Amino acid sequence: MTAAPPNAPETRRIEALLPPETALACEAAGAAKAGRDEIALLVLGLLAGAFIALGAVFMTVVLTGAGELPWGVARLLAGIAFSLGLILVIVGGAELFTGDSLMIVACASRRITVGALLRAWSLVYIGNIGGAVGTTALVFLAGQHGFADGAVGKMALTIASSKAALPTVQLFFLAVLCNVLVCLAVWMSFGARSIADKVMVIVPPVAAFVAAGFEHSIANMYLLPYGLAIKAWAGPEFWTAIGQNAATYSALTTTSALHNIIVATLGNLVGGSLMVGAIYWFVYLRRRT
């Protein structure tokens, strides 16, 4: 075999990482996230909350007026639109609590401590809340709920009200299933080599969880407050345009919104950390510890 010249350029590997290599990449990413300072985690969490909220804005618009389509087709289109949020998070380099459930891999490998894991999760979660709620305020002040003669706001109220009415047990398992798919999307993105590859592996799982009606806690930090804001502060012209009043959405309250977000958070954490991260660690990395 002829040796390469000393100054020959390194050959770049362009194919995706194999699953064992993806596990190592996930472990290294978890360790790097835990090593970030508090301000960085908060700001990156803020960005991710805003990005997911923007995906939810896009989803709401796509669903508006889609009633004539078959239910599944409308949900699929909504899911593809919502994928924008996770694409922005992964490609744009932000920190999302649900995706960061995979940091359990680094913890199980003893690359980070439990304390470091909880610190990162807490800071990112707080940042996600700020980004999602801040985007809620901006979208409401922009008056988007009045678009299409109030149809956009009516759809936002319908989405929020249906989420607020979910019973605890059903909500929990919908959230577990949601973050299994979200974390599989994030997991596959670790193995992707290019931006196009990352987008291609993100869209199908995210579109699937939205189409299936699963529950994402960070998305709900936008969808539920936005519905509450419309219910509380939309002007009389809005209610006249849609032919309803605030009493129509009696299930949508601050208490029911908080219930949804808390239960969905717990379900997301179980689905992502135990049903994806822990399983992949057990298969590919447990013999290294």
Q: Is residue 200 part of a domain?
A: yes
Please compute the mean of the pLDDT values over residues 172-195 and round it to a whole number. 97
CA-to-CA distance for 203 and 86, rounded, in angstroms? 8
Q: Is residue 106 part of a domain?
A: yes
Q: Is residue 3 part of a domain?
A: no
Residue 90 near residue 175, CB atoms below 8 Å? no
Mean pLDDT score across all residues of the chain? 94
Q: Is residue 4 part of a domain?
A: no
What's the pLDDT at 82? 98
CATH number of the domain bearing residue 283: 1.20.1080.10
What's the pLDDT at 15? 76
Please compute the mean of the pLDDT values over residues 142-153 and round it to a whole number. 98
Q: Is residue 80 part of a domain?
A: yes
What's the pLDDT at 68? 86
Residue 17 near residue 194, CB atoms below 8 Å? no
Q: Which domain holds residue 67?
A: 19-288
Q: Is residue 44 part of a domain?
A: yes
Indicate the residue type of 278. Answer: A
| Alpha-helix residue ranges (DSSP H) falling in the chain | 19-34, 38-63, 71-92, 104-108, 114-141, 151-164, 168-191, 195-212, 217-233, 236-242, 254-269, 278-284
Q: Is residue 263 part of a domain?
A: yes
In Å, what is the CA distance from 81 to each residue of 94, 98, 204? 19, 19, 11
At residue 12 the predicted structure's pLDDT band, cuts being 50, 70 and 90, is low
At residue 16 the predicted structure's pLDDT band, cuts being 50, 70 and 90, is confident
At residue 71 the predicted structure's pLDDT band, cuts being 50, 70 and 90, is very high
Q: Is residue 129 part of a domain?
A: yes
CA dihedral 113, 118, 121, 122 (to 10 degrees): -150
Distance of alpha carbon 233 from the chain centroid: 27
Residue 237 confidence (pLDDT) above 70 = yes
Domain count of the fold of the chain = 1
In Å, what is the CA distance from 198 to each residue of 29, 92, 229, 281? 16, 11, 35, 21
Give Rg (Cα) of the chain: 21
At residue 287 the predicted structure's pLDDT band, cuts being 50, 70 and 90, is confident
Q: Whole-prediction pTM value?
A: 0.93
Burial of 122 (0-12, 13-18, 19+ CB in 10 A): middle
For residue 65, report the phi and psi dihedrals to the nearest 5 degrees: 80, 10
Residue 8 confidence (pLDDT) above 80 = no
Residue closest to 263 by CA, chosen among 168, 130, 123, 179: 168
What's the pLDDT at 1? 41
Please compute the mean of the pLDDT values over residues 113-136 and round it to a whole number. 98
